[in-house]
Structures are given as structure tokens and as C-alpha cells.
Amino acid sequence: MATGRPGRRRRAPSGGSGYPRAFPRCRHGRSEDGPANTGARPRSPLPGSCGAALPWRHSRRSTCRSTPAAVLTASAAGPADRDGQGARDWTSARSMGLFRRMGDVASLTIRRPDDWHVHFRDGAVLKEVVPFTARQFGRAIVMPNLTPPVVTTAMAAAYRERIRAAIPAGVDFTPLMTVYLTDGTDPKDLIAGHSDGVLTAAKLYPAHATTNSAHGVSEIARIEQVLAAMEEAGMPLLVHGELPREHIDIFDRERAFIDAVLEPMLAKFPRLKVVMEHITTAEGVALVRRHRSHVGGTITPQHLLYNRNALFQGGVRPHMYCLPILKREQHRLALRQAATSGEANFFLGTDTAPHMRHLKENACGCAGVFSAPVALQAYLKVFAEEGALDKFEAFASLNGPAFYGLKPNEARITITDTLSPTCEAVNIPGEGELIPLFHGEQVPWSQIESA
């Protein structure tokens, strides 16, 4: 990683169809200007950087006693209040044979779902966050934006071992590995890793688009050989779809990427399997539909639940900040329609992205929402509100495997219509705490053990 003086503005070469010039950034590892964000508390603060003392104190002591099991399996309260809307929801699920009523409590049983987009990080954070995902999902696509990034098959294989070591005993969970494409990616290593079963896919981060993307691809032209080899091998390309140029409004970067990069790339590689990760706009939905024979889209819970107002509700809300950023209401509605449509090309990908609290509640806070402890519950809230619980299994458990050419999981999970205990911070020993989605709230829905 190149070094630079903190606080100095850098400009990467701009131009043509290449990605963008860099712009001033936090020194959390998102640029070449400082220490990488490993999720760990910086040992020695940099002047003016995220390591500096925060201007406020945390009033809450770390209260996290929660284990994944406690968050997911207990039912602290009786049945959630159901109005007429809820009754319609259950009618549609009942007609699919997914619905049961056990006394007063309604439940939904579906094939065990998969999460097609997670960030596990490494070290102490990895150890604490993997169990949350492993208890809810059968498999997960693991993103490679570590520091240093996972750029070879050997690095992905070693990372997979570290993840496997963090899976709780008796839990059946398979991490599916990816590599991080750079301008220097070796197509031979990539294709060999795919055919050996180590790599499921490769991730394209436009340089400087998001967390730890400084080593990402500077111009599509530089990876054309790689894309041709992937197309030939049927290896999926996973794309962070934003064009991070200084002159492009942050809310327009997805659309700009589609027009300037993705459509031309799909035209040049018409058989390349592509997942546009975490789509956030109506244009993202339309792109997936236009190329439905070979393009999929993951959708996060936060982009289904919130519009961009959530970033500023009564003040700046750093835990709502992620990339791509939350968008306008019209886009949220388009995403909800797509996710609940049952269409095969839309599937679950949480983009759970843990960053330590002190790096989120910071003068230059990191991007990412940590949703793993409440992932299924968050999606179910949306599907229930939309009256589409009958479509949840397709979105969560069937469409993803079909896109990746895998079988759906055989195991089933049951989720009950009861409130979980209050969602608490997650303590990372020696590092600090993580603030999950729904923090401090009682969460709708509870998972009971897999069947």
C-alpha cells in the first residue's frame, strides 16, 4: 500500500472510461493515506484522523452480553400485534403451505437461506461476527476487502480456514470465497482457483469506491483478459456498482456506473455472469431486469427499510451510513417491489459490514451497516409489510443458489412471529463494540432451531 501525508489531497489519474480521481477521504483504510481499517481500534492516533479522541463520550457502557444464540432463538414476548395488513400477509403464506400456527404464535418454515454478500473482516472481529451469520444462513459469499485484500487463490484458501475456525460447533455453514480484482490480477490463478472449488466468484471494486478499495480496478480495460477468462469459465463477477468521481453526486453514482461502466462491459462480455451487488436504485433494478438471463442483483435490508432521511433523523446517524448510500423513497419502493416480486434474479445479500463503534461515531465515520445479528428478521419485516411472505423463500433461499448453479439447502428453518429480545451491542474483546441494525430495539420475528 502506498503511503501519503495525512490530510493531503491526492488525485489519481482521471479520464476516459477509467474510474475516477480520488478525493479526500477518511484515513480508515479507504484510501492509500493511512492505516487500514481492520475493524480494530487504532493503537496510536494519527493527527486529525479517526484515531483522535472523539468529541463526545459514549453514555452507554458496553452492554453486550448477547450471543448469537440469545439473539436468535429466544422469544421474549408474545405474538406481535397483527392488524388487517398482517392478516393478509399470513393468508398468502398459508396458501403456500409455509405457514403454521402454534397456539397463539404464527411461524414460517422455509429452506435454510443463504447470504450472498457478507463482510467478516479478520482476527477478533471475524471470530465474533461469523457465528451470527452461520446460525441464520447455510452459506455466505465472503467479500475480500481485507487489509491487505484477498487477491490470490492461496490467500482465499487461508482466509477460508480462519472463517471455518470461527464457526460454532455443530453449526452447518459453508463460506464461499471471492478474490478482490486488481489491475494486476492473474487470470490463470483465478480460473484455477475457481475450477479447484476454492473460489466461487471474483469481486470488482472500482478503485476508491468503498471500504478498503484503494487497490481496486482503475479501469475496466485493464482487466479485460480476466473478464474474458471468467466469461469462458462461467465464473461470476460480483460488482460494486458505483462510479466514485468527485463531480458525480454521491446519490447518482450507481446510475453513473451503470451507464458508463456496466452496460458497456455487459455489451463486450455478453455471456459473463454478473451480480450487481447491493442495488439501491430503480435504475439498478431495471439493469438487472434488462439482462435477466445472466445478471443478478443482491438487495440489503437497510435499502429496503430506509430511505436517505434515515441518515439525518434528528441529527447525523453514522450507523445508517453505508455505501452505496441510502437513496430517495422512490428507489426504496422500487427495491421493495423487486425483492418481493419473486423474480429469480433478485436475491438476499445483507452486506453486513462491521466497523467498530468508535470508527462509525467519528468525525469521518466508516461506511457499513452491521446487520448480521438481525438479518432475517429485518428482511421479514419488509416482506410482512408488503404482504409477500409467500415470496420470502424464493428471495432468501432459492434464487441465489439457482443463479450460482448450486442446489438450495436441504435443511429448513422456522421463524416465529414473536419479538426477539432487545438487540444489543456486540463486544469485540480488546477492540470495542459493534452497533447492529435495530440496536436498542426489540426485533420483530425470532428464529427457532433449524429442522
Residues making up the binding site for substrate: 119-121, 145, 240, 323, 355, 367
Determine the 3-state secondary structure of 263 from DSSP: helix
From 146, 243, 322, 376, residue interacting with ligand NCD (rule: CB under 6 A):
322
Cα-based torsion angle of the residue sequence 286, 290, 292, 295 in order, rounded to the nearest 10 degrees: -70
Tell me, what amino acid is at 429?
Answer: P
For Zn ion, the closer of residues 255 and 303 by Cβ is 303
Q: How far apart are CA 377 and CA 389, in angstroms?
A: 12
Residue with smaller CB distance to Zn ion, 51 or 297: 297
Name which of 108 and 274 has its Cβ closer to ligand NCD: 274
Q: Which of residues 348-387 bind Zn ion (CB under 5 A)?
A: 351
Active-site pick, 89, 351, 390, 417:
351
Please give the Cα distance from 276 to 288 (Å, whole number): 8
Region of residue 286 (left: phi > 0; alpha: psi -120 to 50; beta: else): alpha
Query: What, of Zn ion, ligand NCD, none, does residue 211 touch, CB below 5 to 8 Å by kind?
Result: ligand NCD
Binding partner of 145, given ligand NCD, Zn ion, none, CB within 5-8 angstroms per partner class: ligand NCD
With binding defined as CB under 5 A, does residue 343 bind Zn ion? no
Does 399 engage in binding with ligand NCD (CB under 6 A)?
Answer: no
As a whole number of angstroms, the distance between CA 431 and CA 440 comes to 21
Please report, for residues 27, 169, 289, 375, the alpha-carbon distance to residue 275 in angstroms, rounded to integers and kept in the order given: 29, 32, 12, 20
Q: Is 351 a catalytic residue?
A: yes
367 binds, among Zn ion, ligand NCD, none (CB under 5 to 8 A by kind): ligand NCD
Which of residues 145 and 218 has its CB atom nearest to ligand NCD in the complex? 145
What residues form the annotated binding site for Zn(2+)?
117, 119, 203, 240, 278, 351
Site for ligand NCD in 345-384 (CB under 6 A): 351, 353, 367-368
The set of cell numbers assigned to 112 is 435454510
Q: Which triple of cell numbers denotes residue 187? A: 487470470
Distance separating alpha carbons of residues 401 and 52, to the nearest angstrom: 44
**Residue 20 makes contact with ligand NCD by CB under 6 A:** no
What burial letters (b/e) apply to 25-57, b meaning 16+ CB within 10 Å?
Answer: bbbbbbbbbbbbbbbbbbeeeeeebbbeeeeee
Residue carrying C-alpha cell 447525523: 316
Q: How many residues bind Zn ion (CB under 5 A)?
A: 1
Q: Which residue in the set 25, 27, 28, 119 belongs to the binding site for ligand NCD (CB under 6 A)?
A: 119
Candidates 220, 237, 241; CA nearest to 272 is 237
The reply to whether 254 sits near Zn ion by the rule CB under 5 A is: no
* Interface contacts to Zn ion, rule CB under 5 A: 351
Please give the positions annotated as active site: 351
* Interface contacts to ligand NCD, rule CB under 6 A: 119, 145, 210-211, 240, 322-323, 351, 353, 367-368
